[in-house]
Amino acid sequence: MTGRTPPRRSAAFIAATALVASMGLAACGSDDSAGGTPTLTWYINPDVGNADPSAAKGGQAYLAKRCADGSKGKYKIKVQLLPNDASDQRLQLLRRLAAGDKTMDIMSVDPAFSTEFAAADYYAPVPDNLQAQFKQDRVQSSVDASMYKDKLVSVPFWANTQLLWYKKSVAQKAGLDPQNKPVTWDQLIEAAKKTNTQIGVQAKLYEGYAVWINALITSAGGAIVENPGETYDNLKLGIDSAAGKKAADIIRKVATSGVAGPAIGSSTETESLGLFDGRNGGFLVNWPYTYGALANTDKKDVGAALYPRVSAGEESKPPYGGIQLAVGKGSKHADLAYQAISCITNQENQTIYMTKSGNPASRKKVFDDAGVEKAFPGGIAKLIRENLDNAAPRPLTQYWGDISLALQQRFSPPGALTPQTPASTQKYIGEVLNGKALL
């Protein structure tokens, strides 16, 4: 672990360990004690299939079955579904890892939290003979998110980024051409007011709100953490900056102009998608699964474009998301787990997964597949691929869990942000990290 653990985080570890201990570690250990085929446990985040292993769904559970069947008896894989919210996923994984749970064979990990787990030495090392394979043909943003202290500690699985989704009829009425001319947030707000339509964003107190704030600050040329590899006492925060003030100003404008609907403070990806898919939806920032998930909108009227800019002359930095696969240090079958990951992340399986789930692959060649281009028509597949090159991750620091929570709290409610919000937020985060304030 790098440096001393902040006092508040130590409390989280203690609570987590105590909770798992109270469970008697009933979930620990594989079910292959009788000497049969080893069973790997894969903790998956919710997707289009959840725990359904059918080919029709094509989710992570299907890839688990597909790779287990193809292993010719080397291993089986059972899946355990994690909570829907990324912050809750982090907490559940953290509890089990802190308790030394031996079922942590494969984990689907949000890249924002991978650094935290790696710094705590919770990961089994990636085998030397697989390192090159796990970096091969991957978009650079997914490789960067898999590194810690210049070492590959997790494996790129799917790589995600947000796009600007819009209804072509609405954009035309507003005089915008987002596909050919990048738009700014100010233009979107004015377009929505002019056409009496709404903009879908994510501003609930959850990780998705931190994703939006980070995208705005990085698009304005700033950084929430300027030296993410440092220990908490040397961390340099960049929220109290011109970029931070610009981000707060855009969020306040979106919230107070009425274009994001009355429930912006409780809006996640799901609610914002519903807003866009409704009669008054005009614009939306969201992940690529959006296109396949639209139920009420004529898809011929749906366009996708680069993430909105904060300033006309400055390229945007869309959010980077996705999932990394990692193996717990306590796994009894780390070698088999990495063999399974090699199968799960091969080109064929990533192609199946992107086509069925709508979650983009980390492998570049997948975007050239005819099935993928059919699932994301009209150049959307190519746009996602381009966006991934410009995507900016949330700060890859082991303290992101605490920073994110503090950021969400102090940037809420969205309509009450002021030019002083970035400075007060930065002060609060510093106090939290140094044990002088509680979240």
3-state secondary structure of 319: strand
Residue with tokens 């005009």, as numbered in its chain:
282
Residue with the two structure tokens 């898999």: 146
Q: Taking the CA atoms of 361, 367, 371 and 374 in sequence, report the sign of the dihedral they define.
A: positive
Nearest Cα to Cα of residue 246 among 306, 316, 160: 316
**pLDDT for 34-85, tens place per residue?**
578 999 999 999 999 999 999 999 999 999 999 999 999 999 999 999 999 8
Does residue 10 carry a pLDDT above 90? no
Flag whether 17 is in a domain: no
Q: Is the pLDDT of residue 6 over 70?
A: no
Neighbours of 256 (CB within 10 A): 15
Instruction: Label the pairing between strands 147-148 and 76-81.
Output: unpaired
Q: Is 81 helix (H, G, I), strand (E, B) or coil?
A: strand
pLDDT at residue 300 is higher than 80: yes
**Same domain, yes or no, for 239 and 186?**
yes
439 lies in some domain: no
CATH number at residue 426: 3.40.190.10
Total domains present in the chain:
2
SS3 192: helix
Q: Is residue 105 part of a domain?
A: yes
What distance lies between CA 201 and its chain's CA centroid?
15
Is 422 among the domain residues?
yes
Percentage of the chain exceeding pLDDT 90: 89
**What does the pLDDT read at residue 32?**
57
Of 380, 346, 339, residue with least CA distance to 362? 346
Encoding tokens for residue 303? 């366009």
pLDDT per position as a tens digit, 128-164: 999 999 999 999 999 999 999 999 999 999 999 999 9
Q: Is the pLDDT of residue 7 over 70?
A: no
Over the Cα atoms of the chain, what is R_g?
22
H/E/C letters for each residue in 122-187?
Answer: CECCCCHHHHHHHHCCECHHHHHCCEECCEECCEEEECCECEEEEEHHHHHHHCCCCCCCCCEHHH
Cβ neighbours, 10 Å, residue 312:
11
Shared-domain flag, residues 181 and 246: yes
Question: Does 307 share its domain with 354?
Answer: no
Say if residue 367 is in the same domain as residue 234. Answer: no
pLDDT of 262: 87
* Integer Cα distance of 114 and 90 in angstroms: 9
CA angle 99, 100, 105 (to 5 degrees): 125
Would you say residue 2 lies in a domain?
Answer: no
150, 172: one domain: no
**Average pLDDT of the residues of the chain:** 92
Q: Clarify whether residues 156 and 167 are in a common domain.
A: no
3-state helix, strand, coil in the chain (%, to 5): 45, 15, 40
SS3 assignment, position 197: coil
| 420 and 328 part of one domain | no
pLDDT (tens digit, 9 = 90+) per residue, 204-245? 999 999 999 999 999 999 999 999 989 999 999 999 999 999
Specify if 25 maps to a domain.
no
Q: Are residues 155 and 181 in the same domain?
A: no
Two tokens, residue 121: 């030495």
Structure tokens at 146: 């898999």
- The residue range of the domain holding 345 is 39-160+321-393
318 within 8 A of 307, measured Cβ to Cβ = yes
Task: Mark whether 213 and 296 lie in a shared domain.
Answer: yes
Going by C-beta distance under 8 Å and a sequence separation of 6 or more, which residues neighbour residue 297? 167, 276, 277, 281
Q: What is the pLDDT of residues 333-362, one digit of tens each?
A: 999 999 999 999 999 999 999 999 999 999
Taking the C-alpha atoms of residue 87 and residue 112, their distance in angstroms, rounded to an integer, is: 10
**Residue 8, pLDDT above cutoff 50:** no
Mean pLDDT of 381-410: 94
Residue whose C-alpha is closest to residue 4's, from 229, 163, 232: 232
31: in domain: no
Q: Are residues 274 and 169 in the same domain?
A: yes
Please give the pLDDT value at position 3: 36
In a domain, 386, yes or no: yes
**Span 396-400, mean pLDDT?**
96
pLDDT at position 390 is 87
pLDDT higher than threshold 50 for residue 21 = no
pLDDT at 118 over 60: yes
Whether residues 144 and 168 share a domain: the answer is no
In a 13 Å sphere around the CA of 394, the CA atoms on its Cβ side amount to 28
Question: CA 436 to CA 232: how far, in whole Å?
Answer: 13
Query: Do 90 and 210 reside in the same domain of the chain?
Result: no
